[in-house]
Chain A
Amino acid sequence: GAVVSQHPSWVICKSGTSVKIECRSLDFQATTMFWYRQFPKQSLMLMATSNEGSKATYEQGVEKDKFLINHASLTLSTLTVTSAHPEDSSFYICRAKPQRAGRAEADFGSGTRLTVV
């Protein structure tokens, strides 16, 4: 089956520093990748949608200068949280949509727990 690898699984960083999270599709090509944020006991909130080779589309209220998304290849997308603050602490999850048509079951990564201290 399709596998999406997300790294790191958890990270602790100091306020003001930047953190990069990687999302890789291991056995398929993903033309589209999605980045979600999940707070405790809350739903997954879509942050942005990225298509390989083009700029990401951000959801309303998501700061694109703070959450930098790069989708440089069909198997890798990165989310960089710049100048992180404690309120950025959350669970971040990527989702990769395979290139082949007709498959609606895009696969999720295992998530990254970010704690900003």
Chain B
Amino acid sequence: EDQVTQSPEALRLQEGESSSLNCSYTVSGLRGLFWYRQDPGKGPEFLFTLYSAGEEKEKERLKATLTKKESFLHITAPKPEDSATYLCAVLAGYGGATNKLIFGTGTLLAVQP
């Protein structure tokens, strides 16, 4: 069964304290791994898509990396405005028919000033 697991469930950091969030997955036919940021009461905001092991993408203080079984979202010198829930999702399946995203339960990040 396709599965996406995120850890930790919650993370509290001091401003400037770098850390990483983990997303491990077991799926058949990875077609893409997505990272989203979700603020309370809002829909997910797209951050990155990674397609193959070894791929890395960066945006401001965030960098996402991908291996064959997991992805990391590295946060460098975080600021309070980085506080949010970070969701990982996997697009899986062979062929062109499916566009079903499988989501993890997210990591709630709190950055304290």
Contact = CB atoms under 8 A, between A and B. Distances in A.
Interface residues of B, number: 22
Main SS of the interface on chain A? strand
Interface of B: 4, 31-32, 34, 36, 41-46, 49, 87, 89, 91, 99-101, 103-106
B55 to A, nearest CB: 13
Contacts of B101: 34, 44, 46, 95
Interface in A30-54: 32, 34, 41-46, 49
A46 B100 contact: yes
A97 B99 contact: yes
Contacts of B100: 46, 49
B91 A104 contact: yes
Nearest to A109: B43
A13 B27 CA distance: 39
